[in-house]
Structure 1
Amino acid sequence: QNQPPKLDQLKITLQNENLEHLTKVVVVMVPLPAQGHLNQLLHLSHVITTYGIPVHYAGSASHNRQVKLRLNGWDSQSLTNIHFNDFELPSYNSPPPNIDHSNPFPQHSQPLLEATMHLRQPVFHFMKQLSIKYSRVVVIHDNSMAYVVQDVKLIPNGEAYNFIPICAFTYFTSVWESMPQEEKLFKVDRNDIPECMPSKEGCVSEEMLEFLVNLLKCLGFESGWLYNTSRVIDGRYVELLEKLSSAKGKNIKHYALGPFNPVVVKSESGKNRNQCLKWLDEQVKGSVIYVSFGSTTSLTDDQIEELANGLERCGEKFIWVLRRADPNDVFAEADKVKRPQLRSGYEERIKDRGIVVKDWAPQLEILAHPSVGGLMSHCGWNSCMESMSMGVPILAWPMHSDQPMNSFFVSNMLRIGVLMRDWEHRDEIVKSSEIENAVKTLMVSEKGMEMKKRVEELDKAVRGSVAERGISYLERDAFIAHISR
């Protein structure tokens, strides 16, 4: 699987006269098949279609179905503007999600990622087909899908853009710290890379790290990098990444186009309205904390017990999404995932103050609801961006991957959140008393009110950035103009 498939190395040749009647550009999205990655590029697909550019979303049938089913924040009819292209994956060993407090990284996803490497030939064939119909084929691919799309360089009217699915702060600091000193061709201000950042230890398993590093070696054919952030959030680090590219002699463009998610959320109405949104309608403004750890985290039974007790004792109202990590195929493998259990009588005791959601919840719509005043989160970048663009402060509880750095960024740099625990204590169970105190700090303390004011100011700036003539609005225009040139 690590060997490149044999391809016809003869480049596609298109006669100039055949290109004259081709005036349209087409975009092909190639996401990593994990919910947080699928979701970001689906949001970006919606943004691009508003410019009248056709977008093809390329993935397996199961993952395309998953991302469509979980779409929220947009009118469901908007999906008709996106072409979903289903590709078949080879069979692979798919273990259930691991429930291990000492190693919460979703190692079960590695066989799926290895299987996606077989998409190289069918995706190349698809790009070739489009290249005959359009004047330019623009491929936007997840950073970790470079292997699959690398043959776009064989297409004369094709070009690729590498999507960075994490925070620009997290990406730059990680790259900079891993570089040998002799390759650092410029100096970075000490305030840009704080000394007290969390370590990378425990973020990713050694097997997955080796696998991802090998995939990233395929990069170098792209025309630019895209970020799901706004320069009002971490523009300094987008600038440093631009500077790093220039220092390495790479003539590529960097575009901060975020937030990809809508800042004005469209919610389903009537009988289709989610039950938890109906419950929120009855609550006081800013009184509810939303608790969710994303699609790749499974809490242990002991930690669930402590969290349940902490939420019960804190006295604050809450919505708690209690579910295990997604299996590789959320439809075919659902029976492999054992649902987490609460002690008998718990939901009855808290029914006047909180609700427990045991399935997928419309997070963006929940965060946009005026009754929500806080988010307890693993700090995946999707959740961070959605929370910032809805003016909701964060109780940061990182689990793996980029989450410790994202948590540091929102709590120490932006100061719109508070850490649930230091990363160095990640192997320890967080006790109910700590959870109770943290929730009270976020929701009712003076410190929490100050964080709320800061995130509301940031929310205003983020919304302004995507409004007409805002910085992200102009950057989107510049990107569309560039690919449509």
Structure 2
Amino acid sequence: MSKNVELVFVPSFGVTHIIPTVELAKRLVKRDERFSITFLIIPEPSGLIPQAYIDSVTNSVNHIRFTILERADVPPPGFETGIPFISLYIKNHLPHVKKAITNLISDSNNSGSVRLVVDMFATTMIDVANELSIPSYLYFTSCAASLGVLLHLPTLDSEIEDELLEYSSELNLPSYINPVPTLALPDIMLSKKSDGYKWYLHHGSRFRDTKGIIVNSVTELEPHAVHAFNHVFSGIPPVYLVGPSLDLEAKKHPESTRAHYDQIMRWLDDQPKSSVIFLCFGSRGTLSVPQVKEIAIGLERSGQRFLWSLRSPPKTNFEKPSDYSNPEEVLPDGFLQRMEGRGLVCGWAPQVEILAHKATGGFVSHCGWNSILESLWFDVPILTWSLDAEQKLNGFELVKDLGLAVEVKDERDDLVVAEVIERGVRSIIMEDGDGGGGGGGEVRRKVKEMSKKCREAVMEGGSSWFTLGCLVEDLINIQ
């Protein structure tokens, strides 16, 4: 007998969490028509929601609908940024989430058909599932190795009395092949007294209270972490690697960016294959003026073609970076004139379309997990430039454990000098990797192999396709 199942997703606010979660939902409803999916969308603290994206999904995909929650209070002063702010702000929406799910259960007249899927920073919502007697799952939108860090954190906390920063220069973590420098951990994990550490510890502990953990990664990409989940960790729920879940369809960009988009794509069309290094530091990544100047000098000395998404820091915590009205004010004198024809400095950039373009040959990235998966999908080698949060762990895994990237900025760098940038850019763009000993040729070969494996994983019979099928059966049949 067919059993219809209602999945309720509670992603973290912001498109970097919402989009990969919706992409997973698309694959679930495509795989099994018994699923209906409701997204409970938490507005950003400013009140903004990605309405254009929501509308495009609503108009193109059956069985997925969105409920925009009423905005709850923002955390008090002292919680302005980072994981403490995100976690507490999401927690403040708990009554709204409970009310929305209660209404869904009432409409369906059957709580036994509802399952809750929460974001990695929304573990407080597991309490709602427990109160309403519905199963809860976790969707971890970063890599499997960093999931292992949070699962292992309660053990570290009990074993190490001192601050992590003072304990050792390196940690042996089950989900990583090589010892991990403590400075590669998110900064707020290094002090047990910090609110960030306490929230990470809370989330890592609550992951075990779910029926399963879904990860936006690929078994062939992170086999060591998969082995750790199956053979090293104890008392954890099943872990499903079902990625990559990416939004790769042709984007409908706002009309306000159309001329900008056309300029970038026309410029790329005129460049030779795999000749351009793309620099982009995420939707919230910005750099200091001294660092901008060092990058410019390094790019100029490298002699390589480049496309640089250069953003101005936000003026308040709730704002996002913006385009410079006059980028010359932060660049070396005459830089734009000297680089005309060889390089293009822009503001906002259509990252997916740039990575997919035949002219793109390398990617200087902040190592957000979505950006890493997109770069691997399109067979573009990465130069790691981690800025914040788990990005340093992502970069460490790519370079040290997997050999899939070249390191430019390591965890100790406050300022990356022009010489390092010049050497890194040359090594990743030049096919034979002789641009300065960076090993770019070997990295390019490994990235090409991994790109093929990532694409095969989501095809019928692939590892992620098979694991998604196991998840589907578990979601439908769980008691």
Q: How far did 1:82 drift?
A: 3.3
Q: How far is the alpha carbon of 1:377 from its aligned partner?
A: 0.9
1:43·1:261 contact (CA, 8 Å) conserved in 2? yes
Query: 5+ unaligned residues in a row in structure 2: which ranges?
Result: 160-171, 189-193
Aligned with residue 92 of structure 1, among 57, 66, 74: 74
After superposition, residues 83-482 of structure 1 pair within 5 angstroms as 83-92=65-74, 107=81, 110-132=84-106, 133=108, 136-156=113-133, 158-173=134-149, 175-176=151-152, 179=155, 193-200=176-183, 203-205=186-188, 206-244=194-232, 247-248=234-235, 250=236, 252-261=237-246, 265-266=249-250, 274-275=261-262, 276-324=264-312, 329-330=318-319, 341-343=329-331, 345-359=334-348, 361-423=349-411, 425-427=412-414, 429-444=415-430, 445-446=433-434, 447-482=439-474
Alpha-carbon displacement from aligned partner over 1:368-403 (angstroms, at most 9, x marks no partner):
222111110111111111111221111011122212
AA aligned to 2:231 is: K
Paired with 2:337 and 2:423, the residues of 1 have a C-alpha distance of 23
What's the offset of the Cα at 1:50?
2.1
Residue 31 (structure 1) aligns with: 11
Structure 2 Cα separation of the partners of residues 41 and 153 of structure 1: 22
Comparing 226-235 with 196-205, greater Cα deviation is found at 196-205
TM-score (norm 1): 0.79
Distance apart, 1:329 and its partner CA: 4.7
Contact 1:26 1:136 in 2 (8 A): yes
State whether residues 89 and 116 of structure 1, in contact with CA within 8 Å, keep that contact through their aligned partners in structure 2: no
Please report how far the alpha carbon of residue 213 of structure 1 lies from its aligned counterpart in structure 2 after TM superposition.
2.6
Q: Give distance in 1, aligned partners of 2:366 and 2:50.
A: 20
TM-score, scaled to structure 2: 0.80
**Structure 1 contact 298–323 (Cα < 8 Å) conserved:** yes
Residues 346 and 181 of structure 1: CA distance in aligned 2, closer, same or farther (over 3 Å): closer
Does the CA-based 8 Å contact 1:109-1:328 persist in structure 2? no
1:320 deviation in Å?
A: 1.2
Instruction: Look up the equivalent residue of 2:443 and give its one-letter code.
Output: M
Kept after mapping to 1: 8 A contact 2:81/2:317: no
The alpha-carbon distance between structure 1 residues 337 and 226, as it changes in their structure 2 partners (threshold 3 A), is: farther
Greater length-normalized contact order (CA 8 Å, ≥ 6 residues apart): 1
Aligned alpha-carbon RMSD (Å): 3.7
- Does the 8 Å contact 2:83/2:196 carry over to 1? no
1:116, CA displacement in angstroms?
2.1
Instruction: In structure 2, give the amino acid aligned to 1:419.
Output: E
**Match for residue 17 of structure 1?**
none
In structure 2, the CA distance between the partners of 1:23 and 1:456, relative to structure 1 (3 Å rule), is: same
Could you tell me how far 1:159 is from its partner in structure 2? 1.5
Letter paired with 2:187: V
The residue type paired with residue 443 of structure 1 is I
Deviations 1:290-346 (A, max 9, x none): 11111343211111111122222222111211124676655xx77999997533643
Secondary structure of 1:233's aligned partner: coil
Identity across matched positions, percent: 23
In 2, distance between residues paired with 1:46 and 1:34? 18
CA offsets 1:228-279 (integer angstroms, 9 cap, x no match)? 101011033123124355x23x5x32210100115x6435599858232332
Does the CA contact (< 8 Å) of 2:39 and 2:65 recur in 1? yes
Q: Deviations over 1:49-70 (max 9, x none)?
A: 3233332222234589654557
Amino acid at match of 1:393: P
Output the CA distance in 1 between the equivalents of 2:308 and 2:384: 15
User: 2:42–2:93: 8 Å Cα contact kept in structure 1?
Assistant: no
CA distance in 1, matches of 2:378, 2:300: 26
Q: Which runs of 5+ in 1 are unaligned?
A: 1-19, 98-105, 184-188
SS of equivalent to 2:182: coil
Q: 2: distance between equivalents of 1:304 and 1:69?
A: 32
SS of equivalent residue, structure 2 residue 145: helix
2:73–2:92 CA contact under 8 A, matched in 1: no
Task: Give the paired residue count.
Answer: 441
| C-alpha contact 1:146 1:215 (8 A) present in aligned 2 | yes
Q: Mark the CA change 1:172 to 1:110 in structure 2 (over 3 Å): closer, same or farther.
A: closer
Q: Which amino acid aligns with 1:426?
A: D
Change (3 A) 1:379 1:218: same
Alpha-carbon distance in structure 2 between the residues aligned to 1:329 and 1:182: 35
3-state SS of 2:400 partner: helix
